[in-house]
Structures are given as structure tokens and as C-alpha cells.
């Protein structure tokens, strides 16, 4: 007997409505456009499009994973950052919109046709290093990470984005870079204090702890990065790094104590001081200022 079950097939609109109650409308759309390999606009334009039984079943599986807390980016395996699509897995931090500020600050310091050298410490997925490298094709970017699993993702991303001017290295911070000098050092290091309740909430539960949390007050990696920077900066070179929403003043103080000058904190789109930068003082007065 032929079974005609087409009438039972759910439409895009029905599917999204049902999922939205469990995971919210935005995530429901993101997962369905990923599953159907279509642009989100297709879902808006074709609310009556029927899902195949197979797709409906697979979608239910994705919604269950999201409802259990798994981040959308780990389910879809990608996240957009600086208008580029990056592969992500639980081996790397999911690139955040506020981290685009670190790329902006780096690009402000690097003239368009400059052939300078940039070091990205703790590159993870490579989001920051590869975004800078794409925007500045003549720059040589060295991107280092202590996690071999993270480096594999960064390598995948370099291939996907056809970036050839990034040198990916395995190592802990400045490990293996003795004697090498850079015009800029950038980093989005772990800076969440161990014991911060956010680590046990939301997407952060699924992200690599080593990419998020740093010892004590959360500043241990930042201290280490600052301590090693001068030895790896060319004359006139600068250091800029991301930090937590309440760490800007502490980071300016750490840079000041380490002899940096022209220390500036920059605000992200939410108005939070998120990136602090400065360069080692060779001579002259030290200054430290908050962003406008």
C-alpha cells in the first residue's frame, strides 16, 4: 500500500514556530538555514516550503542539542567574524563580535601596504590572525597556540580563507620565538577569573577552559604576555590585547609598571573598555589614558 504522508510534512514556518519556543527564534532560524544549506532569507521568503521527513528528523536532533545548551556555533561548525566564515569546534573559543575591536585596533596600527611582522598569541581558531592577514596581505603574521587541536582548526581556516601570509606555530605564548622581533603583538588571551560563575553558564560551559580562564584574578596570562613583550618588539612596536569588561584599569596599570607608554584603552560597540594597547618606552614621559 502506498503511503502518502506529504500532508504531514511540516512547513518551514511550522518548524520554526515549534523550535522557537524551545531555543528562541534566532537560533531556530540559524540551525534550519544551516541544515537546509540555505540563506536565512530563504526561510523568510518560503514559509510554506515543506521539510523532507529526513530533514525534519535531523532538525529535531539539532534543536535538542541546542536546548541542552550546546552553542549554535559548535552545532553548525562555523561562526562569522570580521565578515569571514571560520570553522570552529569545541577545541577553540567561539569568536566574539567584541573581539573585532582587536582587529580594528591592529589594522589602525598597520598601514595598508606595510610589510611589517605581527605576532598573535593564543590564536585559537585563528580568527584574529587570519582577519588581520586578509586585510594586510603583505604583513607576515606569526600565530601561536599551545593547543595542537586548536592549531588544526586554525590551519583549516587558513586554507578555507586562502590566507598564505600566516605562519602557524605550536607553543606556549613566546615559546620558540627567542630572538624574533615583531612590529606588533596582539592577543585575545584567557582572562576570566577562575571561579567566575559565568564559566558554568551558557555557551562558556562548552568552550575550552584553557582559552577562557586564567589564574587568580584572571590577569595571569596578561601579566605573562606583558612581561615578554618588550623582548619581542622592534623599536616603535606595540602590544594590544583584549581583556575583561572590568579589567581595563588594571591592564593599564600593569603596562605602566612594565614601562610601557602611550597606553590607551578602547571601547567595544557596547561601550565597554575591551582592548588596551601601548608600546615599550624607550625614552620620554609615560602616559596613560582612558578612552573617550
What minimum distance in Å lies between the beta carbon of 274 and ligand GLN?
8
What minimum distance in Å lies between the beta carbon of 14 and ligand GLN?
34
Q: Would you give the binding string for ligand GLN spanning residues 209-228, x where CB under 6 A is met?
A: ---x----------------
- Give the residue carrying C-alpha cell 567595544: 268
Residue count, binding to ligand GLN (CB under 6 A): 9
CB atoms within 10 A of CB 162: 7
- Interface pick for ligand GLN out of 81, 82, 173, 191 (rule CB under 6 A): 191
Is 275 strand, coil or helix? strand
Per CB under 6 A, does 188 bind ligand GLN? yes
- Interface pick for ligand GLN out of 49, 58, 96, 224 (rule CB under 6 A): 96
Is 169 strand, coil or helix? strand
- How many CA atoms lie within 13 Å of 90's alpha carbon, on the beta-carbon side? 9
- Interface pick for ligand GLN out of 71, 190, 237, 280 (rule CB under 6 A): 190
Distance CA 159, CA 163 (A): 6
Per CB under 6 A, does 261 bind ligand GLN? no
Per CB under 6 A, does 192 bind ligand GLN? yes
Among 83, 219, 92, 73, which Cα is nearest to 143's?
92
**In contact, 249 and 242? CB cutoff 8 Å:** no
Closer to ligand GLN by CB, 192 or 261: give it.
192
CB atoms within 10 A of CB 23: 19
| Residues binding ligand GLN (CB under 6 A) | 93, 96, 188, 190-192, 204, 212, 242
Amino acid at each position: 500500500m502506498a503511503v502518502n504522508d506529504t500532508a504531514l510534512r511540516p512547513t518551514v514556518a511550522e518548524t520554526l514556530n515549534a523550535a522557537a519556543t524551545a531555543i528562541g527564534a534566532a537560533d531556530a532560524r540559524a540551525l534550519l538555514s544551516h541544515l537546509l544549506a540555505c540563506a536565512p532569507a530563504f526561510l523568510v521568503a518560503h514559509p510554506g516550503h515543506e521539510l523532507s521527513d529526513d530533514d525534519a528528523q535531523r532538525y529535531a536532533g539539532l534543536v535538542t542539542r541546542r536546548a541542552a545548551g550546546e552553542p549554535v556555533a559548535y552545532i553548525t561548525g562555523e561562526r562569522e567574524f570580521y565578515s569571514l566564515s571560520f570553522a570552529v569546534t569545541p577545541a577553540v573559543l567561539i569568536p566574539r563580535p567584541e573581539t573585532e575591536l582587536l582587529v580594528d585596533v591592529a589594522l589602525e596600527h598597520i598601514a595598508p601596504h606595510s610589510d611589517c611582522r605581527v605576532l598573535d598569541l593564543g590564536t585559537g581558531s585563528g580568527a584574529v590572525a587570519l582577519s588581520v592577514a586578509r586585510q594586510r596581505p603583505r604583513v607576515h603574521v606569526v600565530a601561536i597556540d599551545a593547543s595542537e587541536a586548536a592549531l588544526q582548526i586554525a590551519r583549516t581556516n587558513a586554507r578555507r580563507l586562502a590566507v598564505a601570509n600566516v605562519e602557524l606555530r605550536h607553543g606556549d605564548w613566546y615559546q620558540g620565538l627567542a630572538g624574533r622581533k615583531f612590529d606588533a603583538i596582539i592577543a585575545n588571551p584567557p582572562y576570566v577569573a577562575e571561579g567566575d560563575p559565568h564559566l558554568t553558564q551558557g555557551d562558556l560551559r562548552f568552550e575550552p577552559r584553557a582559552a577562557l580562564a586564567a589564574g587568580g584574578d584572571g590577569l595571569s596570562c596578561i601579566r605573562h604576555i606583558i612581561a615578554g613583550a618588550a623582548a619581542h618588539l622592534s623599536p616603535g612596536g606595540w602590544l594590544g590585547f583584549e581583556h575583561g569588561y572590568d579589567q581595563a584599569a588594571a591592564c593599564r596599570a600593569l603596562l605602566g609598571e612594565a614601562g610601557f607608554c602611550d597606553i590607551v584603552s578602547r571601547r567595544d560597540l557596547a561601550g565597554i573598555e575591551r582592548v588596551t594597547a601601548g608600546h615599550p618606552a624607550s625614552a620620554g614621559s609615560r602616559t596613560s589614558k582612558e578612552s573617550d
